[in-house]
Structure 1
Amino acid sequence: MAPSTITSSFKVLSYTETPVPASRDVPVKTNFCNQEREYHGAQISGWAVGVYIKTYQSDDANTFVGQQVFTGTLLGRQGTFTALAKGAFADGVVTAEWQIISGTGELAGISGSGTYGVPAGYKSGDELPFELHVEFA
């Protein structure tokens, strides 16, 4: 199958941050983050859970890494895929990248990458655009 580009949106259903427990004082604010998302569009429909570690360089800037597990339908194929995620928050804007590392069900053999952003002024429940480039082995 030739590579495909999916341009759609997702909505954040829930988001929590909790401090990383440590036996010593951590000089930089470091949090665990959990997020649930709903994806919908002509080429994608489903739900995802993400787990991230976020490190704050200041109150106005942070970086994060983690994984997201998507379950649903992508390009008419039912299954699950896992993506590594990394990104940053600065000047009121989030920029992030995904790298798909594995798939199950009809999404087995998937590979790809993508990007998304959260604009300044984002309000809970807003649709967030993303782009995902995928292909199947």
Structure 2
Amino acid sequence: MSDYTGDTGYDGGSYGEIETGENHESLDQLHQVDASQNTYDSQFGVYEQDHASAESTSFDQGHQVSYTDASGATYQESDFTSYDHSAAETDHVFAAEGSETASSSEFHQLDAIRAQLDSAFTSMTAVNGGGTAELGVASN
């Protein structure tokens, strides 16, 4: 810039502008997780056993004597034995076992994040009348 002296009254001095300020910003974030898990298990077993047996015994014995003499007299003798035996046996075994399990779980999570961002700044522009222009910027 040149030195100008005229009717305006500018004498070639320096001119400067300074600006300061603050910025405030915030960040909000919400994160939510919902989860669940269910399990079910069952085991059952049935065991069975059958056994059967039968026995039958039959015994018969007989004896018979018959005699007739010359005069016509008759002698007769009978003897008879009979034996019967029957047996039946059955066995039955029944067993059952089992197990059953169930589980359920739930998970809930809620995260809220809030961040505050603060900053301050200073800005300055300076013009010197000696024909040199300087610009300076500083921020915090």
TM-score normalised per structure 2: 0.20
Q: Which has the higher strand share?
A: 2
